[in-house]
Amino acid sequence: MSLELHVIFQIAVIGIATAVLASLLKQSGRDEIATLVTITALVLVAAVVVTNINHLFTEIRAVFFNQ
């Protein structure tokens, strides 16, 4: 079982980049675009997390049902 550190880094980078971008956009008065960016980042992270959870469930299923 490999500890997939890159996924954690990926999510962290998305989080940091979004935080910086959203605060900059808010500063320049584009609040609606800042919200849009935040939501897009949320969807991106959700996609990454869902893919990994799917992977986890497939593994569990393989352990218990494919013997």
Judged by the rule CB under 8 A, the positions of this chain that interact with other proteins are 6, 9-10, 13-14, 17, 20-21, 24-25, 27-30, 44
| Closer Cβ to other proteins, 47 or 56, answer by number | 47
3-state DSSP assignment of residue 19: helix
Using CA atoms, how far residue 26 sits from 13, 14, 42, 52, in Å, is: 20, 18, 18, 32
| Closer Cβ to other proteins, 28 or 54, answer by number | 28
Rounded to an integer, what distance in angstroms lies between the CA atom of residue 15 and that of residue 13? Answer: 5
Minimal distance in Å, beta carbon 10 to other proteins? 5
| Closer Cβ to other proteins, 38 or 44, answer by number | 44
Rounded to an integer, what distance in angstroms lies between the CA atom of residue 38 and that of residue 19? Answer: 8
Minimal distance in Å, beta carbon 49 to other proteins? 13
